[in-house]
DNA sequence: TTGTTGATTTCGCAA
DNA sequence: TTGCGAAGTCAACAA
């Protein structure tokens, strides 16, 4: 990894064109040849960058990075303040806990959140257009397809609608009800879901995780 | 901006929990207090990070960064290889060209691309499920809702279909026709749109920008 | 290889 | 401030 602090201007030409006027910035060249241009603010996103795979051509005062699809990042170096390189080696990688799949697990184990007497048919119930997160039957034996999201937006409602349309063609399952379950449901998504007869349920992750821990402690 | 190369392990606790085992990494502390943990590969996204606004508490061998919502990033420093700081100043920022909003502007100013006698009712025409990019009336006074995309895919057709369904419930507007306009329209999107009676129009960005420049030169 | 979906998404615009 | 849609989205996983 090479770190350069330099006064530079940058141009990108690819899907769009973008230009950065001259200023002091941090340039990072990673082991795979990818280049990041960072300012001293903003978020984790660089001002400009080139993703791997790409090729870096260095000439005095100018770097030209060319990507797989022919897009180019051109860095004009005007003044180099600092230039250093380090061998970091490969990274063991990130371990995550608490994403959608976890939410799905918890809900599958706590169907009483949705109603008494519900039972799980299966998780990741397969359909020709993709898997339904949870397939259940309610106390009356009616099929219910559940879409689980961390944040419920319109796309998720569309997704569930497509599943329901398909599932309702199967006489062994029909009629199939829909439940849209998320930690947070956007107003527009709620309007669309309600308009289509889909029930919306807000999930409390901390509460569900707590209930899960409590049930584990009983054994 | 402070750059540290160090052997470290990192823990994040917020919306989710994430852990990074010990390894050599680049740590960036920006002027606004935000922290980025980068490995020597991957993309421009850090392995772990804390976005501003946040507060950094430094003790020997340990950094604790606390975010606005109480989430924390904890870095355990085991061995520091390099540690340097730089004053970069504020960045003039990025200039972009070629994104959807620009395409929408150009089309609004050049409705003749779609047909003679068309007039613009308004851009970003509001509906309960989101704004329609362009609302127009054709030469015969018939309402037309236009969805503008850089790349036309199925999602865009679905979006326009939702708008049309809603708009056609309004007796003051109905019947409302649909136009799907994009620089590039995927075959599947074209098939779906055509099947639903939506007209597809491919936009030539360079040509439209040229026409725009030409019209400006007349004044 | 191609497509789909999730993300600590981030970013920008408009109400 | 808040909400919503786009992004040079990226990245993981399945077909």
Residue of chain A with shortest Cα separation from B7: A88
| Chains A–B, number of C-beta pairs less than 8 Å apart | 170
Residue to substitute from A39, A82, A90, A204, interface B, most B β-carbons within 10 A? A39
Q: Is the pLDDT of residue B218 over 80?
A: no
- For residue A210, the tally of other CB atoms under 10 A from its CB is 11
Q: What is the DSSP letter of B14?
A: S
Task: Please indicate whether, in this complex, the C-beta atoms of B128 and A3 are within 8 angstroms of each other.
Answer: no
B103 within 8 A of B201, measured Cβ to Cβ: no
User: Beta-carbon neighbour count of residue B51 at 10 Å?
Assistant: 18
**Any bridge partners for residue B178, and if so which?**
B145
Per-residue pLDDT tens digits for A82-113: 999 999 988 888 888 778 888 888 899 889 88
| Nearest-by-Cβ selection for A17 from B15, B98, B158 | B98
Using alpha carbons, select from B159, B144, B166 the residue that is nearest to residue B193.
B159
Q: What contacts B185, CB < 8 A, 6 or more positions away?
A: B152, B193, B200, B202
Q: How many residues does chain A have?
A: 219
Residues of chain B found within 8 Å of residue A36, distances taken between Cβ atoms? 44
The token pair at B17 is 């929990």
Contacts of residue B21 in chain A, CB cutoff 8 Å? 92, 95
Point out the residue among B17, B88, B96 whose CB comes nearest to the CB of A39: B88
Token output for A60? 């005095």
Contact A80, A6 (CB under 8 A): yes
Residue B219's pLDDT is what?
Answer: 46
Chain D positions under 7 Å from a protein CB?
3-11, 15
**A 74-93, residues with C-beta < 7 Å of strand D:** none
Q: What are phi and psi of A201, to 5 degrees?
A: -130, 125
Residue B149 CB in 7 A reach of strand D: yes
Written as six digits, the tokens of A150 are 């961390």
Helix%, strand%, coil% for chain A, nearest 5: 20, 45, 35
* Chain B nearest C-alpha distance from A197 (Å): 16
Q: Per CA to C1' distance, which residue is closest to D14?
A: A130
Contacts of A179 (CB under 8 A, 6+ apart): A114, A144, A145, A146, A147, A198, A199, A200, A201
Length of chain B: 219
Predicted pLDDT at B158: 84
Which two three-digit tokens encode residue B77?
A: 């420093």
A30 contacts B41? CB cut-off 8 A? yes
Q: Nearest by CB to A86, from B45, B49, B81: name it.
A: B81
CA nearest A7 in B: which residue? B88
C-alpha–C-alpha distance, residues A63 and A28, integer Å: 12
Cβ B41–A23 below 8 Å, yes or no? no
Q: Which nucleotides of strand C lie within 7 A of protein CB?
A: 4-15
Query: CB within 8 A of A173, min separation 6: which ones?
Result: A143, A167
Burial (0-12, 13-18, 19+ Cβ within 10 Å), A37:
buried
Whether A183 sits with its Cβ under 7 A from any strand C atom: the answer reads no
What is the pLDDT averaged over residues B26-50? Answer: 92
Tell me what pLDDT residue B215 has. Answer: 60
Average of per-residue pLDDT across B57-62? 94
Of the pLDDT bands very low, low, confident and very high (cuts 50, 70, 90), residue B150 is: confident
D6 C1' – B150 CA distance, angstroms? Answer: 10
Q: Model's pTM, two decimal places? A: 0.81
Partner-chain residue, chosen from A24, A94, A150, that has the shortest CB–CB distance to B47: A94
Chain A nearest CA to B59, separation (Å): 23
Q: Which residue has the higher pLDDT, A217 or B34?
A: B34
**C-beta separation of A39 from A48 below 8 A:** no
| Separation in Å: C13 C1' and B123 CA | 13
Q: For B136-153, what is the mean pLDDT?
A: 90
Q: With contacts defined as CB-CB under 8 Å, which chain B residues touch A92? A: 20-23
Cα(A28)–Cα(B3) distance, rounded to whole angstroms?
Answer: 11
- Model pLDDT for residues B93-133, shown as the tens digit of each residue: 888 876 777 888 888 888 888 999 999 988 888 887 778 88
Instruction: Verify if strand C has an atom below 7 Å from the CB of B100.
Output: no
Q: Nearest nucleotide, C1' to the C-alpha of A37?
A: D8
Q: Which residues pair with B200 in a beta bridge?
A: B180
Tokens of A211: 């209930």
Three-class DSSP category at A104 = helix
Which nt has its C1' nearest the CA of A124? D14
Lowest mean pLDDT among A152-166, A200-214, B10-24, B128-142: A200-214
Say which nucleotide is closest to residue A148, CA to C1' distance.
Answer: C6
Is residue B145 within 8 Å of residue B135, measured between CB atoms? Answer: yes
Intra-chain end-to-end CA distance of chain A, in Å = 50
Gap between the Cα atoms of B165 and B178, Å rounded? 10
């Amino acid at each position: 990894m090479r770190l350069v602090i330099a006064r530079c201007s940058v141009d990108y030409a690819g899907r769009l064109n973008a230009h950065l006027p001259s200023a002091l910035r941090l340039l990072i060249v990673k082991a795979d040849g990818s280049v990041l241009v960072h300012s001293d603010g903003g978020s984790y996103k660089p001002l400009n960058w080139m993703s791997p795979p790409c090729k870096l051509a260095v000439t005095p005062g100018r770097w030209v990075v060319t990507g797989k699809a022919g897009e180019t990042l051109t860095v004009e170096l005007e003044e180099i303040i600092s230039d250093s390189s380090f061998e970091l080696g490969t990274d063991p990688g990130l371990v995550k806990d608490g994403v959608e799949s976890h939410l799905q697990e918890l809900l599958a184990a706590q169907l009483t959140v949705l109603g008494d007497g519900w039972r799980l048919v299966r998780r990741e119930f397969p359909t020709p257009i993709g898997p339904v997160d949870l397939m259940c039957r309610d106390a009356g034996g009616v099929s219910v397809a559940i879409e689980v999201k961390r944040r419920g937006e319109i796309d998720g409602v569309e997704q569930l609608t497509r599943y329901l349309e398909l599932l309702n063609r199967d006489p062994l399952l029909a009629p199939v009800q829909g439940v849209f379950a998320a930690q947070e449901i956007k107003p527009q998504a709620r309007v669309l879901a309600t308009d289509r007869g889909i029930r919306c349920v807000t999930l409390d992750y901390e509460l569900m995780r707590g209930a899960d821990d409590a049930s584990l402690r009983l054994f």
